[in-house]
Structure 1
Amino acid sequence: MYPEPAGPPGAPVVVIWPAMGVKARYYRPFAAALRAAGLAVVVADLRGTGASTPAPSRADRYGYAELAGDVGAVLRALKPRLEGRTRLLLGHSLGGQAALLHLALDGSDAADGLALIAVGLPYWRNYPGLRGYGVLPYTQGIAATTALLRVWPGWGFGGRQARGVIRDWAYTARTGRFPRLDGMDTEAAVRAVRSPVLAVSVDDDQYTPHETMDNLCGRLAAAPVTRERYTSAQAGAPLDHFTWVRAATPLAQRIARFASGLPRR
Protein backbone atom coordinates (compact mmCIF):
# COMPACT_ATOMS: atom_id res chain seq x y z
CA MET A 1 0.00 0.00 0.00
CA TYR A 2 1.19 3.48 -0.84
CA PRO A 3 0.59 6.60 1.27
CA GLU A 4 -2.63 8.47 0.73
CA PRO A 5 -2.41 11.20 -1.92
CA ALA A 6 -2.36 14.86 -0.97
CA GLY A 7 -5.74 16.55 -0.86
CA PRO A 8 -9.11 15.77 0.70
CA PRO A 9 -9.43 12.37 2.41
CA GLY A 10 -11.38 9.57 0.82
CA ALA A 11 -9.78 9.59 -2.63
CA PRO A 12 -10.70 6.71 -4.97
CA VAL A 13 -8.60 3.59 -4.39
CA VAL A 14 -6.89 1.74 -7.25
CA VAL A 15 -5.90 -1.89 -6.64
CA ILE A 16 -3.32 -3.01 -9.22
CA TRP A 17 -2.91 -6.62 -10.37
CA PRO A 18 0.37 -7.36 -12.19
CA ALA A 19 1.22 -9.30 -15.31
CA MET A 20 2.31 -12.94 -15.21
CA GLY A 21 5.64 -13.27 -13.42
CA VAL A 22 5.97 -9.53 -12.73
CA LYS A 23 6.56 -8.47 -9.13
CA ALA A 24 4.45 -5.77 -7.52
CA ARG A 25 7.47 -3.55 -6.95
CA TYR A 26 7.93 -3.17 -10.71
CA TYR A 27 4.86 -0.91 -10.68
CA ARG A 28 6.35 1.69 -8.33
CA PRO A 29 6.73 4.37 -11.05
CA PHE A 30 3.15 3.80 -12.16
CA ALA A 31 1.87 3.84 -8.57
CA ALA A 32 3.69 7.12 -7.97
CA ALA A 33 2.08 8.62 -11.09
CA LEU A 34 -1.38 7.47 -9.98
CA ARG A 35 -0.85 8.90 -6.51
CA ALA A 36 0.30 12.21 -8.02
CA ALA A 37 -2.94 12.18 -10.03
CA GLY A 38 -4.93 12.02 -6.79
CA LEU A 39 -5.58 8.30 -6.35
CA ALA A 40 -4.86 6.01 -3.43
CA VAL A 41 -2.89 2.98 -4.63
CA VAL A 42 -2.46 -0.65 -3.61
CA VAL A 43 -0.39 -3.15 -5.64
CA ALA A 44 -0.89 -6.85 -4.92
CA ASP A 45 1.42 -9.64 -6.06
CA LEU A 46 -0.19 -12.48 -7.97
CA ARG A 47 -0.09 -15.81 -6.18
CA GLY A 48 3.40 -17.30 -6.12
CA THR A 49 5.14 -14.16 -7.39
CA GLY A 50 7.20 -11.60 -5.50
CA ALA A 51 6.15 -11.31 -1.86
CA SER A 52 3.46 -13.97 -2.36
CA THR A 53 5.15 -17.15 -1.20
CA PRO A 54 5.87 -19.99 -1.62
CA ALA A 55 6.90 -20.04 -5.26
CA PRO A 56 4.92 -22.50 -7.41
CA SER A 57 5.99 -26.12 -7.09
CA ARG A 58 5.05 -29.39 -8.75
CA ALA A 59 2.45 -29.88 -6.03
CA ASP A 60 0.53 -26.74 -7.03
CA ARG A 61 -2.40 -27.11 -9.39
CA TYR A 62 -4.10 -23.74 -9.01
CA GLY A 63 -5.19 -21.82 -12.06
CA TYR A 64 -7.40 -18.94 -13.13
CA ALA A 65 -10.19 -19.76 -10.66
CA GLU A 66 -7.84 -19.37 -7.72
CA LEU A 67 -6.28 -16.18 -9.12
CA ALA A 68 -9.77 -14.69 -9.45
CA GLY A 69 -10.55 -15.77 -5.91
CA ASP A 70 -7.38 -14.10 -4.66
CA VAL A 71 -8.71 -10.77 -5.92
CA GLY A 72 -11.66 -11.15 -3.59
CA ALA A 73 -9.43 -12.16 -0.69
CA VAL A 74 -7.30 -9.03 -1.09
CA LEU A 75 -10.39 -6.80 -1.32
CA ARG A 76 -11.70 -8.33 1.91
CA ALA A 77 -8.37 -7.71 3.62
CA LEU A 78 -8.47 -4.10 2.43
CA LYS A 79 -12.06 -3.53 3.59
CA PRO A 80 -11.17 -0.99 6.32
CA ARG A 81 -9.32 1.17 3.78
CA LEU A 82 -11.92 0.73 1.04
CA GLU A 83 -15.04 1.35 3.13
CA GLY A 84 -17.19 4.05 1.57
CA ARG A 85 -14.67 4.86 -1.15
CA THR A 86 -14.78 4.46 -4.91
CA ARG A 87 -12.71 1.39 -5.77
CA LEU A 88 -11.14 0.61 -9.11
CA LEU A 89 -9.55 -2.70 -10.04
CA LEU A 90 -6.67 -2.21 -12.47
CA GLY A 91 -5.10 -5.18 -14.18
CA HIS A 92 -2.09 -5.56 -16.44
CA SER A 93 -2.08 -8.60 -18.74
CA LEU A 94 -2.81 -11.72 -16.63
CA GLY A 95 -3.71 -9.45 -13.71
CA GLY A 96 -6.41 -7.89 -15.85
CA GLN A 97 -7.85 -11.29 -16.67
CA ALA A 98 -7.87 -12.21 -12.97
CA ALA A 99 -9.65 -8.96 -12.04
CA LEU A 100 -12.23 -9.39 -14.79
CA LEU A 101 -12.85 -13.02 -13.86
CA HIS A 102 -13.34 -12.04 -10.23
CA LEU A 103 -16.05 -9.58 -11.22
CA ALA A 104 -17.61 -12.18 -13.52
CA LEU A 105 -17.59 -15.10 -11.08
CA ASP A 106 -18.03 -13.40 -7.70
CA GLY A 107 -20.17 -10.37 -8.48
CA SER A 108 -19.42 -7.05 -10.10
CA ASP A 109 -20.36 -5.12 -6.94
CA ALA A 110 -16.85 -5.86 -5.64
CA ALA A 111 -15.57 -2.81 -7.51
CA ASP A 112 -17.00 0.34 -9.02
CA GLY A 113 -14.94 0.05 -12.17
CA LEU A 114 -12.27 -1.91 -13.99
CA ALA A 115 -9.24 -0.64 -15.88
CA LEU A 116 -7.55 -3.07 -18.26
CA ILE A 117 -4.06 -2.07 -19.40
CA ALA A 118 -2.29 -4.20 -22.02
CA VAL A 119 -4.75 -7.03 -21.48
CA GLY A 120 -6.10 -9.37 -24.10
CA LEU A 121 -6.92 -12.97 -24.82
CA PRO A 122 -3.78 -14.29 -26.55
CA TYR A 123 -5.86 -16.14 -29.15
CA TRP A 124 -3.51 -16.99 -31.97
CA ARG A 125 -5.95 -15.98 -34.72
CA ASN A 126 -6.15 -12.41 -33.38
CA TYR A 127 -2.49 -11.61 -34.01
CA PRO A 128 -1.84 -9.49 -37.10
CA GLY A 129 -0.10 -10.86 -40.17
CA LEU A 130 1.72 -14.13 -39.71
CA ARG A 131 2.39 -13.67 -36.00
CA GLY A 132 -0.41 -15.99 -34.95
CA TYR A 133 1.28 -18.91 -36.65
CA GLY A 134 4.12 -18.45 -34.18
CA VAL A 135 1.90 -17.78 -31.18
CA LEU A 136 0.05 -21.08 -31.43
CA PRO A 137 3.06 -23.45 -31.27
CA TYR A 138 4.80 -21.18 -28.75
CA THR A 139 1.93 -21.17 -26.26
CA GLN A 140 1.11 -24.84 -26.71
CA GLY A 141 4.78 -25.78 -26.44
CA ILE A 142 4.93 -24.03 -23.07
CA ALA A 143 1.78 -25.88 -22.02
CA ALA A 144 3.21 -29.24 -23.09
CA THR A 145 6.47 -28.59 -21.26
CA THR A 146 4.56 -27.58 -18.14
CA ALA A 147 2.41 -30.70 -18.26
CA LEU A 148 5.56 -32.82 -18.50
CA LEU A 149 7.43 -31.03 -15.69
CA ARG A 150 4.26 -30.35 -13.62
CA VAL A 151 5.38 -26.72 -13.20
CA TRP A 152 6.53 -24.00 -15.59
CA PRO A 153 10.13 -23.10 -14.63
CA GLY A 154 9.90 -19.65 -16.24
CA TRP A 155 12.29 -20.32 -19.10
CA GLY A 156 12.29 -17.00 -20.94
CA PHE A 157 8.62 -16.25 -20.31
CA GLY A 158 6.24 -15.50 -17.48
CA GLY A 159 8.33 -16.46 -14.46
CA ARG A 160 7.76 -19.66 -12.51
CA GLN A 161 4.07 -20.65 -12.70
CA ALA A 162 1.76 -23.35 -11.42
CA ARG A 163 0.67 -25.78 -14.08
CA GLY A 164 -2.99 -24.78 -13.77
CA VAL A 165 -2.19 -21.15 -14.63
CA ILE A 166 -0.30 -22.23 -17.75
CA ARG A 167 -3.03 -24.73 -18.66
CA ASP A 168 -5.72 -22.05 -18.53
CA TRP A 169 -3.57 -19.45 -20.31
CA ALA A 170 -2.75 -21.90 -23.10
CA TYR A 171 -6.44 -22.77 -23.45
CA THR A 172 -7.27 -19.12 -24.14
CA ALA A 173 -4.46 -18.96 -26.70
CA ARG A 174 -5.69 -22.09 -28.47
CA THR A 175 -9.46 -21.50 -28.40
CA GLY A 176 -9.96 -17.77 -27.90
CA ARG A 177 -12.22 -18.49 -24.92
CA PHE A 178 -11.92 -18.50 -21.16
CA PRO A 179 -12.07 -22.04 -19.73
CA ARG A 180 -14.95 -23.14 -17.54
CA LEU A 181 -14.00 -22.43 -13.94
CA ASP A 182 -15.49 -24.23 -10.95
CA GLY A 183 -18.15 -25.61 -13.27
CA MET A 184 -19.30 -22.16 -14.38
CA ASP A 185 -19.74 -20.91 -17.94
CA THR A 186 -17.07 -18.24 -17.68
CA GLU A 187 -17.81 -16.76 -21.08
CA ALA A 188 -21.44 -16.13 -20.13
CA ALA A 189 -20.36 -14.66 -16.79
CA VAL A 190 -17.99 -12.24 -18.52
CA ARG A 191 -20.75 -11.15 -20.88
CA ALA A 192 -22.90 -10.31 -17.84
CA VAL A 193 -20.35 -8.01 -16.12
CA ARG A 194 -21.84 -4.52 -15.81
CA SER A 195 -19.03 -2.53 -14.18
CA PRO A 196 -17.69 0.37 -16.27
CA VAL A 197 -14.47 -0.60 -18.05
CA LEU A 198 -11.58 1.48 -19.31
CA ALA A 199 -9.68 -0.71 -21.79
CA VAL A 200 -6.31 0.60 -22.93
CA SER A 201 -3.98 -1.20 -25.31
CA VAL A 202 -0.38 -0.10 -25.73
CA ASP A 203 1.67 0.63 -28.82
CA ASP A 204 4.22 -2.00 -29.87
CA ASP A 205 2.93 -4.54 -27.34
CA GLN A 206 4.65 -7.79 -28.25
CA TYR A 207 2.30 -10.00 -26.21
CA THR A 208 -1.15 -8.36 -26.29
CA PRO A 209 -1.37 -6.18 -29.41
CA HIS A 210 -4.40 -3.96 -29.98
CA GLU A 211 -6.34 -6.74 -31.71
CA THR A 212 -6.27 -8.98 -28.64
CA MET A 213 -7.75 -6.21 -26.50
CA ASP A 214 -10.44 -5.64 -29.14
CA ASN A 215 -11.35 -9.32 -28.91
CA LEU A 216 -11.66 -9.17 -25.13
CA CYS A 217 -13.75 -5.99 -25.22
CA GLY A 218 -16.11 -7.66 -27.67
CA ARG A 219 -17.09 -10.10 -24.91
CA LEU A 220 -18.13 -7.36 -22.48
CA ALA A 221 -21.67 -7.22 -23.79
CA ALA A 222 -23.30 -5.65 -20.72
CA ALA A 223 -20.51 -3.35 -19.53
CA PRO A 224 -20.03 0.26 -20.66
CA VAL A 225 -16.57 0.06 -22.25
CA THR A 226 -14.31 2.99 -23.01
CA ARG A 227 -11.75 1.68 -25.51
CA GLU A 228 -8.50 3.63 -25.94
CA ARG A 229 -4.94 3.22 -27.14
CA TYR A 230 -1.88 4.51 -25.32
CA THR A 231 0.57 5.69 -27.94
CA SER A 232 4.29 6.36 -27.88
CA ALA A 233 3.51 9.95 -28.83
CA GLN A 234 1.31 10.36 -25.73
CA ALA A 235 3.89 8.72 -23.50
CA GLY A 236 6.84 10.60 -24.97
CA ALA A 237 8.81 7.36 -24.97
CA PRO A 238 8.93 3.98 -26.72
CA LEU A 239 6.41 1.49 -25.37
CA ASP A 240 5.89 -2.24 -25.19
CA HIS A 241 4.08 -4.75 -22.98
CA PHE A 242 6.19 -3.79 -19.96
CA THR A 243 7.91 -0.44 -20.50
CA TRP A 244 4.67 1.58 -20.47
CA VAL A 245 4.84 1.28 -16.68
CA ARG A 246 7.83 3.66 -16.65
CA ALA A 247 6.26 6.21 -19.00
CA ALA A 248 2.74 6.29 -17.63
CA THR A 249 2.13 9.80 -16.31
CA PRO A 250 -0.40 10.70 -19.05
CA LEU A 251 -2.03 7.29 -18.66
CA ALA A 252 -2.27 7.74 -14.87
CA GLN A 253 -4.02 11.05 -15.40
CA ARG A 254 -6.50 9.40 -17.77
CA ILE A 255 -7.20 6.67 -15.21
CA ALA A 256 -7.78 9.32 -12.53
CA ARG A 257 -10.37 11.00 -14.76
CA PHE A 258 -12.05 7.65 -15.32
CA ALA A 259 -12.10 6.94 -11.57
CA SER A 260 -13.56 10.35 -10.80
CA GLY A 261 -16.51 9.58 -13.09
CA LEU A 262 -17.41 6.27 -11.44
CA PRO A 263 -20.51 5.98 -9.26
CA ARG A 264 -19.81 6.79 -5.63
CA ARG A 265 -20.71 4.43 -2.80
Structure 2
Amino acid sequence: MPTVTIPVTTADGVGNRLRLFRSDAPPATPVVLCMPAMGVKADYYQPLANAFRQAGLHAATADLRGVGASSVRASRQVNFGYEEMLEQEWPALIECLREQLPESPVYLLGHSLGGQINTLYLAENAREVKGMILVAASNIHYRGYGRPLPMLLASQCLNLITQLMGYLPGHRLGFGGREARQLIREWAHCARTGRYHLKKRGKLLEERLAEVRLPVMALSFEEDWMAPRKAVVRLYDKLASAEITHQHLSGKALGVEGLNHFNWARTPEALVARIQQWISQHSPL
Protein backbone atom coordinates (compact mmCIF):
# COMPACT_ATOMS: atom_id res chain seq x y z
CA MET A 1 0.00 0.00 0.00
CA PRO A 2 1.23 3.57 -0.62
CA THR A 3 2.77 5.66 2.13
CA VAL A 4 0.40 8.36 3.38
CA THR A 5 1.56 11.73 4.75
CA ILE A 6 -0.82 13.26 7.29
CA PRO A 7 -0.46 16.84 8.60
CA VAL A 8 -0.49 17.03 12.40
CA THR A 9 -0.87 20.17 14.51
CA THR A 10 -0.20 20.16 18.24
CA ALA A 11 -2.47 21.87 20.77
CA ASP A 12 0.00 24.79 20.95
CA GLY A 13 -0.05 25.27 17.18
CA VAL A 14 3.18 23.58 16.07
CA GLY A 15 2.91 21.78 12.74
CA ASN A 16 4.37 18.36 12.01
CA ARG A 17 3.56 15.39 9.82
CA LEU A 18 2.98 11.71 10.37
CA ARG A 19 4.06 9.35 7.60
CA LEU A 20 2.03 6.16 7.73
CA PHE A 21 3.41 2.98 6.17
CA ARG A 22 0.29 0.84 6.15
CA SER A 23 0.69 -2.87 5.43
CA ASP A 24 -1.78 -5.16 3.68
CA ALA A 25 -2.44 -6.90 7.01
CA PRO A 26 -5.82 -6.93 8.81
CA PRO A 27 -7.05 -3.71 10.47
CA ALA A 28 -6.14 -4.82 14.00
CA THR A 29 -2.47 -5.37 13.10
CA PRO A 30 -0.10 -3.50 15.47
CA VAL A 31 1.43 -0.20 14.40
CA VAL A 32 4.97 0.82 15.37
CA LEU A 33 5.51 4.56 15.84
CA CYS A 34 9.21 5.31 15.26
CA MET A 35 10.59 8.37 17.06
CA PRO A 36 14.03 9.71 16.10
CA ALA A 37 17.32 10.44 17.76
CA MET A 38 18.37 14.01 18.55
CA GLY A 39 18.79 16.04 15.38
CA VAL A 40 17.86 13.17 13.05
CA LYS A 41 15.05 13.69 10.54
CA ALA A 42 12.20 11.21 10.45
CA ASP A 43 12.93 10.49 6.79
CA TYR A 44 16.12 8.72 7.88
CA TYR A 45 13.94 5.93 9.26
CA GLN A 46 12.07 5.23 6.02
CA PRO A 47 13.97 1.94 5.45
CA LEU A 48 13.01 0.91 8.99
CA ALA A 49 9.33 1.71 8.43
CA ASN A 50 9.35 -0.12 5.10
CA ALA A 51 10.93 -3.16 6.76
CA PHE A 52 8.11 -3.22 9.32
CA ARG A 53 5.56 -2.98 6.52
CA GLN A 54 7.22 -5.86 4.67
CA ALA A 55 7.14 -7.86 7.91
CA GLY A 56 3.36 -7.47 8.06
CA LEU A 57 3.13 -4.60 10.56
CA HIS A 58 1.95 -1.03 10.16
CA ALA A 59 4.57 1.64 10.88
CA ALA A 60 4.73 5.40 11.19
CA THR A 61 7.43 8.05 11.48
CA ALA A 62 7.39 11.63 12.73
CA ASP A 63 9.89 14.34 13.59
CA LEU A 64 10.84 15.67 16.98
CA ARG A 65 9.96 19.29 17.66
CA GLY A 66 12.38 21.61 15.87
CA VAL A 67 13.56 19.05 13.30
CA GLY A 68 12.54 18.16 9.74
CA ALA A 69 8.84 18.71 9.09
CA SER A 70 8.32 20.47 12.43
CA SER A 71 7.19 24.05 11.82
CA VAL A 72 9.49 25.57 14.47
CA ARG A 73 13.25 25.88 14.87
CA ALA A 74 15.16 26.42 18.09
CA SER A 75 16.51 29.94 18.60
CA ARG A 76 16.94 32.50 21.35
CA GLN A 77 13.25 33.27 20.92
CA VAL A 78 11.99 29.69 20.40
CA ASN A 79 12.70 27.42 23.35
CA PHE A 80 11.32 24.02 24.36
CA GLY A 81 12.34 20.81 26.06
CA TYR A 82 11.28 17.28 26.86
CA GLU A 83 8.11 18.51 28.54
CA GLU A 84 6.72 20.31 25.49
CA MET A 85 7.16 17.20 23.37
CA LEU A 86 5.56 15.00 26.03
CA GLU A 87 2.57 17.33 26.27
CA GLN A 88 2.24 18.29 22.60
CA GLU A 89 3.89 16.10 19.93
CA TRP A 90 3.35 12.69 21.51
CA PRO A 91 -0.40 13.08 22.22
CA ALA A 92 -1.04 14.64 18.80
CA LEU A 93 0.81 11.88 16.95
CA ILE A 94 -0.85 9.06 18.86
CA GLU A 95 -4.28 10.64 18.37
CA CYS A 96 -3.56 10.79 14.64
CA LEU A 97 -2.62 7.11 14.65
CA ARG A 98 -5.85 6.29 16.49
CA GLU A 99 -7.85 8.09 13.81
CA GLN A 100 -6.07 6.25 11.00
CA LEU A 101 -5.83 2.81 12.62
CA PRO A 102 -8.48 2.67 15.36
CA GLU A 103 -8.16 -1.10 15.89
CA SER A 104 -4.36 -1.29 15.94
CA PRO A 105 -2.42 -1.58 19.21
CA VAL A 106 0.34 1.03 19.30
CA TYR A 107 3.96 0.16 20.00
CA LEU A 108 6.39 3.02 20.57
CA LEU A 109 9.85 2.60 19.08
CA GLY A 110 12.45 5.15 20.08
CA HIS A 111 16.01 5.62 18.89
CA SER A 112 18.35 7.34 21.37
CA LEU A 113 16.60 10.56 22.52
CA GLY A 114 13.35 9.31 21.00
CA GLY A 115 13.59 6.28 23.29
CA GLN A 116 14.21 8.44 26.34
CA ILE A 117 11.13 10.57 25.63
CA ASN A 118 9.06 7.46 24.87
CA THR A 119 10.06 6.13 28.28
CA LEU A 120 9.02 9.34 30.01
CA TYR A 121 5.73 9.31 28.10
CA LEU A 122 4.91 5.93 29.63
CA ALA A 123 5.15 7.40 33.12
CA GLU A 124 1.81 9.16 32.63
CA ASN A 125 0.32 7.49 29.55
CA ALA A 126 1.07 3.77 29.73
CA ARG A 127 -2.57 2.94 28.95
CA GLU A 128 -2.26 4.60 25.55
CA VAL A 129 0.15 2.00 24.16
CA LYS A 130 0.68 -1.76 24.13
CA GLY A 131 4.45 -1.78 24.55
CA MET A 132 7.75 -0.07 23.79
CA ILE A 133 10.93 -0.84 21.86
CA LEU A 134 14.16 0.95 22.79
CA VAL A 135 16.85 0.93 20.09
CA ALA A 136 20.27 2.29 21.09
CA ALA A 137 18.43 4.31 23.75
CA SER A 138 20.16 4.85 27.06
CA ASN A 139 20.18 6.85 30.24
CA ILE A 140 23.08 9.17 29.53
CA HIS A 141 24.42 9.41 33.09
CA TYR A 142 28.17 9.71 32.67
CA ARG A 143 28.87 6.75 34.95
CA GLY A 144 27.24 4.44 32.41
CA TYR A 145 30.06 5.02 29.92
CA GLY A 146 33.45 3.39 29.53
CA ARG A 147 35.13 6.81 29.70
CA PRO A 148 32.90 8.64 32.19
CA LEU A 149 34.88 11.85 32.66
CA PRO A 150 34.97 12.82 28.95
CA MET A 151 31.23 12.14 28.76
CA LEU A 152 30.57 14.39 31.75
CA LEU A 153 32.79 17.19 30.44
CA ALA A 154 31.41 17.04 26.90
CA SER A 155 27.77 17.14 28.02
CA GLN A 156 28.31 20.07 30.37
CA CYS A 157 30.37 22.00 27.80
CA LEU A 158 27.61 21.56 25.23
CA ASN A 159 25.12 22.86 27.79
CA LEU A 160 27.32 25.89 28.51
CA ILE A 161 27.61 26.70 24.80
CA THR A 162 23.85 26.31 24.43
CA GLN A 163 22.97 28.61 27.31
CA LEU A 164 25.40 31.28 26.06
CA MET A 165 24.14 31.17 22.47
CA GLY A 166 20.46 30.62 23.26
CA TYR A 167 20.38 27.33 21.33
CA LEU A 168 22.79 24.56 20.36
CA PRO A 169 24.23 24.88 16.83
CA GLY A 170 24.73 21.13 16.75
CA HIS A 171 24.83 21.04 12.96
CA ARG A 172 28.06 23.07 13.20
CA LEU A 173 29.53 21.15 16.13
CA GLY A 174 28.89 17.66 14.78
CA PHE A 175 26.45 16.67 17.53
CA GLY A 176 22.69 16.66 17.16
CA GLY A 177 21.01 19.38 15.16
CA ARG A 178 19.80 22.87 16.00
CA GLU A 179 18.62 22.12 19.55
CA ALA A 180 16.66 24.19 22.05
CA ARG A 181 18.39 25.35 25.22
CA GLN A 182 15.77 23.83 27.57
CA LEU A 183 16.13 20.45 25.89
CA ILE A 184 19.93 20.56 26.21
CA ARG A 185 19.66 21.77 29.82
CA GLU A 186 17.50 18.74 30.67
CA TRP A 187 19.73 16.42 28.65
CA ALA A 188 22.85 17.70 30.44
CA HIS A 189 21.14 17.38 33.84
CA CYS A 190 20.50 13.72 33.09
CA ALA A 191 24.12 13.26 31.99
CA ARG A 192 25.26 14.78 35.29
CA THR A 193 22.81 13.08 37.68
CA GLY A 194 21.17 10.19 35.84
CA ARG A 195 17.74 11.62 36.70
CA TYR A 196 15.00 13.24 34.64
CA HIS A 197 13.91 16.49 36.25
CA LEU A 198 11.45 18.50 34.16
CA LYS A 199 10.09 21.99 34.79
CA LYS A 200 6.52 21.14 35.82
CA ARG A 201 6.85 17.55 36.93
CA GLY A 202 10.05 17.74 38.94
CA LYS A 203 10.94 14.31 40.26
CA LEU A 204 7.44 12.84 39.84
CA LEU A 205 8.27 11.18 36.52
CA GLU A 206 11.01 9.09 38.12
CA GLU A 207 8.54 7.75 40.71
CA ARG A 208 5.86 7.02 38.12
CA LEU A 209 8.27 5.18 35.82
CA ALA A 210 8.68 2.50 38.47
CA GLU A 211 4.93 1.78 38.28
CA VAL A 212 4.77 1.15 34.51
CA ARG A 213 3.63 -2.41 33.77
CA LEU A 214 4.17 -2.92 30.06
CA PRO A 215 6.32 -5.16 27.87
CA VAL A 216 9.53 -3.40 26.87
CA MET A 217 12.15 -4.59 24.39
CA ALA A 218 15.62 -3.04 24.60
CA LEU A 219 18.11 -3.47 21.76
CA SER A 220 21.73 -2.44 22.17
CA PHE A 221 24.79 -2.94 19.98
CA GLU A 222 28.26 -4.16 20.89
CA GLU A 223 29.91 -1.56 18.64
CA ASP A 224 27.85 1.42 19.85
CA TRP A 225 29.90 3.66 22.16
CA MET A 226 27.11 6.26 22.30
CA ALA A 227 24.66 3.84 23.95
CA PRO A 228 26.75 1.14 25.64
CA ARG A 229 25.06 -1.80 27.30
CA LYS A 230 25.49 -0.44 30.83
CA ALA A 231 23.85 2.88 29.90
CA VAL A 232 20.95 1.11 28.17
CA VAL A 233 20.34 -0.95 31.31
CA ARG A 234 20.34 2.25 33.37
CA LEU A 235 17.41 3.53 31.31
CA TYR A 236 15.16 0.50 31.50
CA ASP A 237 16.05 -0.14 35.15
CA LYS A 238 13.83 2.86 35.89
CA LEU A 239 10.90 0.71 34.69
CA ALA A 240 11.05 -1.52 37.75
CA SER A 241 7.62 -3.13 37.16
CA ALA A 242 7.89 -3.58 33.39
CA GLU A 243 8.48 -6.86 31.56
CA ILE A 244 11.93 -6.31 30.04
CA THR A 245 13.50 -8.19 27.14
CA HIS A 246 17.07 -7.05 26.38
CA GLN A 247 19.06 -8.21 23.36
CA HIS A 248 22.68 -7.02 23.07
CA LEU A 249 23.66 -7.60 19.46
CA SER A 250 26.69 -7.45 17.19
CA GLY A 251 26.93 -6.19 13.64
CA LYS A 252 27.66 -9.75 12.55
CA ALA A 253 24.40 -10.98 14.10
CA LEU A 254 22.47 -8.29 12.23
CA GLY A 255 24.40 -8.48 8.98
CA VAL A 256 25.44 -4.82 9.27
CA GLU A 257 29.09 -4.06 8.53
CA GLY A 258 30.57 -1.33 10.71
CA LEU A 259 27.49 -1.22 12.95
CA ASN A 260 27.16 2.00 14.94
CA HIS A 261 24.64 4.19 16.77
CA PHE A 262 22.93 5.25 13.54
CA ASN A 263 23.49 2.94 10.59
CA TRP A 264 21.39 0.06 11.97
CA ALA A 265 18.36 1.98 10.66
CA ARG A 266 19.58 1.80 7.06
CA THR A 267 19.78 -2.01 6.95
CA PRO A 268 17.14 -2.92 9.53
CA GLU A 269 15.66 -6.18 8.24
CA ALA A 270 17.32 -8.55 10.73
CA LEU A 271 16.51 -6.21 13.61
CA VAL A 272 12.91 -5.85 12.49
CA ALA A 273 12.55 -9.65 12.37
CA ARG A 274 13.50 -9.80 16.05
CA ILE A 275 11.09 -7.00 16.93
CA GLN A 276 8.29 -8.59 14.92
CA GLN A 277 8.77 -11.87 16.76
CA TRP A 278 8.65 -10.07 20.11
CA ILE A 279 5.53 -8.10 19.18
CA SER A 280 3.80 -11.31 18.08
CA GLN A 281 4.21 -12.63 21.63
CA HIS A 282 2.20 -9.71 23.02
CA SER A 283 -0.17 -8.98 20.11
CA PRO A 284 -0.76 -12.20 18.15
CA LEU A 285 -0.72 -11.38 14.44
Q: Shorter-normalised TM-score: what interval?
A: over 0.9
CA distance in 1, matches of 2:221, 2:84: 27
Q: Which of 232, 252, 266 is the equivalent residue of 1:233?
A: 252
Alignment RMSD: 1.4
Deviation track 1:51-76 (CA, whole Å, cap 9, x = no partner) reads: 11221111223111112222112111
CA distance in 1, matches of 2:27, 2:279: 15
- Of stretches 230-239 and 91-100 in structure 1, the one that deviates more from structure 2 is 230-239
Give matches, 1:70-109, under 5 Å. Answer: 70-104=89-123, 106-109=124-127
Structure with greater strand share of residues: 2
Check if 1:120 corresponds to 2:138.
yes
Query: Could you say which residue in structure 1 is the equivalent of 2:200?
Result: 182
Deviation track 1:159-205 (CA, whole Å, cap 9, x = no partner) reads: 00110110010011000111144234121111111121001112211
Secondary structure of the residue that 1:247 maps to in structure 2? coil
Structure 1: segments with no counterpart, 5+ residues: none
Judge conservation of contact 1:86–1:262 (CA < 8 Å) in 2.
Answer: no
Query: Could you say which residue in structure 1 is the equivalent of 2:156?
Result: 140
Deviation track 1:6-62 (CA, whole Å, cap 9, x = no partner) reads: 343432101010000000000111111111111101101000100112211112231
Q: Which amino acid in structure 2 is aligned with residue 157 of structure 1?
A: F
Secondary structure of the residue that 1:168 maps to in structure 2? helix
Q: Which amino acid in structure 2 is aligned with residue 200 of structure 1?
A: L
Query: Could you say which residue in structure 1 is the equivalent of 2:269?
Result: 249
Overall identity of the aligned pairs, in %: 39
Q: Which of 218, 234, 244 is the equivalent residue of 1:215?
A: 234
Deviation track 1:185-227 (CA, whole Å, cap 9, x = no partner) reads: 1211111111210011122113111111011121110111111
Q: Which of 243, 248, 254 is the equivalent residue of 1:224?
A: 243
Shift of 1:240: 0.6
Secondary structure of the residue that 1:261 maps to in structure 2? helix
- Of stretches 79-88 and 159-168 in structure 1, the one that deviates more from structure 2 is 79-88
CA distance in 2, matches of 1:72, 1:2: 16
Secondary structure of the residue that 2:217 maps to in structure 1? strand
Query: Could you say which residue in structure 2 is the equivalent of 1:61?
Result: 79
Judge conservation of contact 2:25–2:57 (CA < 8 Å) in 1.
Answer: no
Judge conservation of contact 1:34–1:41 (CA < 8 Å) in 2.
Answer: yes
Secondary structure of the residue that 1:107 maps to in structure 2? helix
CA distance in 1, matches of 2:91, 2:179: 21
Check if 1:49 corresponds to 2:67.
yes
CA distance in 1, matches of 2:242, 2:199: 21
Q: Which of 164, 168, 183 is the equivalent residue of 2:186?
A: 168
Judge conservation of contact 2:27–2:103 (CA < 8 Å) in 1.
Answer: no
Judge conservation of contact 1:20–1:94 (CA < 8 Å) in 2.
Answer: yes
Deviation track 1:76-129 (CA, whole Å, cap 9, x = no partner) reads: 12221231211101000000111111111x32011000000000011111112x
Closer/same/farther in 2, CA of residues 82 and 2 from structure 1, 3 Å limit? closer
- Of stretches 253-262 and 85-94 in structure 1, the one that deviates more from structure 2 is 253-262
CA distance in 2, matches of 1:136, 1:259: 36
Query: Which structure would you say has the larger RCO, counting Cα contacts within 8 Å and 6 or more residues apart?
Result: 1
CA distance in 2, matches of 1:220, 1:59: 35
Tell me the number of residue pairs that the alignment of Structure 1 and Structure 2 aligns: 261
- Of stretches 117-126 and 175-184 in structure 1, the one that deviates more from structure 2 is 175-184
Q: Which of 212, 223, 226 is the equivalent residue of 1:204?
A: 223
Shift of 1:247: 2.2
CA distance in 1, matches of 2:201, 2:32: 30
Structure 2: segments with no counterpart, 5+ residues: 1-18
Secondary structure of the residue that 1:145 maps to in structure 2? helix
CA distance in 2, matches of 1:115, 1:38: 17
Give matches, 1:30-41, under 5 Å. Answer: 30-41=48-59
- Of stretches 180-189 and 119-128 in structure 1, the one that deviates more from structure 2 is 180-189
Q: Which amino acid in structure 2 is aligned with residue 145 of structure 1?
A: I
Query: Could you say which residue in structure 1 is the equivalent of 2:23?
Result: 5
Check if 1:26 corresponds to 2:44.
yes
Query: Could you say which residue in structure 2 is the equivalent of 1:191?
Result: 210
Q: Which amino acid in structure 1 is aligned with residue 196 of structure 2?
A: F
Deviation track 1:204-260 (CA, whole Å, cap 9, x = no partner) reads: 113111111011121110111111113211111221100111121111011112222
